[in-house]
Amino acid sequence: MLQTKQQIIDKLHKELEEQAKNNKPDPYRLAYHLMPPMGLLNDPNGFIQFNGVYHLFFQWNPFATEHGSKCWGHYTSGDFVHWKHEAVALTPSDWFDRNGCYSGSAIEKDGKLIVFYTGNVKNEQGERETYQCMAVSEDGVHFEKKGPVLSLPPGYTAHFRDPKVWQHNGRWYMIIGAQSSDETGKAVLFTSTDLESWEHLGAVAGAHVNQLGDFGYMWECPDLFPLGDKDVFIVSPQGIAPDGYLYNNLYQSGYFIGKLDYINAAFTHGDFTELDRGFDFYAPQTTMDDKGRRLLFAWMGLPEENEDSHPTRENGWIHAMTLPRCLELRGDKLFQKPAEELQQLRKKKVEHKNVILDTCPQKLDGIRGTAAELLIILNEEVGPDTTFTVSIREEAEITFDSTLKRLTLSRLRFAAKTKEYRHCRLAHLNSLQIFIDTSSIEIFVNDGEEVFTARIFPDPGNDTITFAANSRLSFNVTKWDMSFVLPGN
């Protein structure tokens, strides 16, 4: 039966109170990442800076650690590093979103924060229906739903969702993730002058569109934006087979660089590049802030994958957001850097200069941590036939192999505790910036050339960091403890 927003909020408050009473020790609550107070978090939604405040909404099933009827949870931040958990923004409480307020985006118009999202409905025959809906807020916290603004155009299945809206030359544009009737993934463009009636311009990218061949059965969470003099198109395709070091996760998230021809509704683009080389990264969303930065958050997790064996489930929650990243385009390659505001979380600096590593594995005084940032800068080119390994908390290992020109992250599988690997090609290793949290690791390689993200579940007290190489190597290393605990953690 359809519940009203108030009924859902009342249930939520009751469960949060119950949870607070239980107060079980929970060593895997993250120290400086966003995560749900309870239930399941997935995609970042409605990411925007509005009246100087950063808003990040998220897909949230508060009542179970499974996917289900999603609400939009909500965090805000004035400084982009300390976040406040706000009241739930959207609940599945209307005929057009009764089985979930699915992913979407936010814009500002006439001083109002307006969000677009997908109303997910299972009809009486058990079939999926999809509605692209609008909701408006004066204060950025309370939303009034306006209902559907766009229904399914012919030629697509009901897997049609995740509207991302932006403005260009005085018109509004919306791009939607889709599956066409031949069951291949597409991104479909619409335009509007008033945000309420939308004209269908067609599929601008997708499997069997332009120069692309087979490329998945569904494209989720599209995001198209200008960067420099090019357009970047980020998308999460499903159904791509592994290809050597590429596409080894169940689903992918990556980007195409190109140019959107707004007149002819056509996007010419280059190849698809994965945004992250690790195990846990999906459904990213970007926004531009008043400093002119293109910022990105992603879900530090993946649909379906590993959910059964996730150790946090017994504590009533699952998944988290990545750290925020700032995007830069160099040629046709996106560089991703951790948002510089994260430096405010740095405490207790420990530094070792000109560490000489020979063939004995080394631990360094004070270089340890369960919630820490580690910056390793190589002093010279890694020599031939050399492998250099940094082991984190005896759970994750980062290895550069100068012969294979390859960087590898290995971690222990959540339940089985056997090793699993992700790799990327890397010509040179200059630096590793590693963010360690109680149950995650993010590695920024060579100032953002590559990034690896993974959840890890080490022994909670294990804070060891070990360096090893099979021949002589010199580097500088700095470690800071990181501190910020979300209120209520």
Active site residues: 43
**Exposed / middle / buried, residue 210 (Cβ in 10 Å: 0-12, 13-18, 19+):** middle
Tokens describing residue 322 = 């990545």
CA–CA separation, 193 vs 210, rounded Å?
27
161 or 269: CB nearest ligand FRU: 161
Minimum Å gap between C-beta 372 and ligand FRU is: 29
102/480 with CB nearer ligand FRU: 102
Out of 202, 303, 311, 460, the only residue in the binding site for ligand FRU (CB under 6 A) is: 303
Closest approach of Cβ 42 to ligand FRU, in Å?
Answer: 5
The one among 221, 260, 300, 371 contacting ligand FRU by CB under 6 A: 221
In 3-state terms, what secondary structure has residue 27?
A: coil
Ranges assigned E (strand) in 372-430: 372-378, 387-392, 396-401, 406-412, 419-425
- Would you say 120 or 440 has its CB closer to ligand FRU? 120
The rounded Cα 254 to chain-centroid distance in angstroms is 11
Query: Considering only residues 392-451, where is the footprint of ligand FRU by CB under 6 A?
Result: none
Helix (H, G, I), strand (E, B) or coil at 326: strand
User: Which residues lie closer than 8 Å to 436 by C-beta, 6 or more apart?
Assistant: 369, 370, 371, 372, 373, 374, 392, 393
Q: Is 162 in the site for ligand FRU (CB under 6 A)?
A: yes
Which of 263, 284, 288 is CA-nearest to residue 275?
284
Q: Are strands 39-50 and 317-318 parallel, antiparallel or unpaired?
A: parallel
Amino acid at 357: L
Q: How far is CA 351 from CA 340, 364, 399, 445, 478, in A?
A: 20, 10, 22, 19, 4
Q: How far apart are CA 215 and CA 185, in angstroms?
A: 7
When asked if residue 70 is in the footprint of ligand FRU (CB under 6 A), the reply is yes
> Smaller CB distance to ligand FRU: residue 302 or 477?
302
Of 221 and 342, which has the nearer Cβ to ligand FRU? 221
* Comparison of 59 and 387: residue with beta carbon closer to ligand FRU: 59
Smallest distance, ligand FRU to C-beta of residue 41, A? 10
Q: Mask of contacts with ligand FRU, 119-158, x by CB under 6 A?
A: ----------------------------------------
Output the smallest distance, CB 60 to ligand FRU, in A: 9
Q: How far is the CB of 328 from ligand FRU (least distance, A)?
A: 26
The answer to whether residue 42 forms part of the interface with ligand FRU (CB under 6 A) is yes
Question: Would you count residue 283 as binding ligand FRU (CB under 6 A)?
Answer: yes
Nearest distance in Å: CB 66, ligand FRU: 11
Task: Check binding of 238 to ligand FRU (CB under 6 A).
Answer: no
Looking at the Cβ atoms of 118 and 370, the one nearer to ligand FRU is 118
Total site size for ligand FRU, rule CB under 6 A: 14
Strands (E), 323-405: 325-330, 333-338, 346-357, 372-378, 387-392, 396-401
Under rule CB under 6 A, residue 43 binds ligand FRU? yes
Q: Whole-angstrom Cα distance, residue 11 to residue 167? A: 38
- Which residue, 42 or 433, has its beta carbon nearer to ligand FRU? 42
Distance CA 316, CA 308 (A): 13
Q: What share of the chain is helix, strand, coil (3-state, %, to 5)?
A: 5, 50, 45
Is residue 161 a contact point for ligand FRU (CB under 6 A)? yes
Which of 57, 102, 388, 480 contacts ligand FRU by CB under 6 A?
Answer: 102
- Confirm or reject binding of residue 118 to ligand FRU (CB under 6 A): yes
Question: Applying CB under 6 A, does 68 fall inside the site for ligand FRU?
Answer: no
Among 34, 39, 59, 256, binds ligand FRU (CB under 6 A): 59
Applying CB under 6 A, the residues found at the interface with ligand FRU are 42-43, 59, 70, 102-103, 118, 161-162, 220-221, 282-283, 303
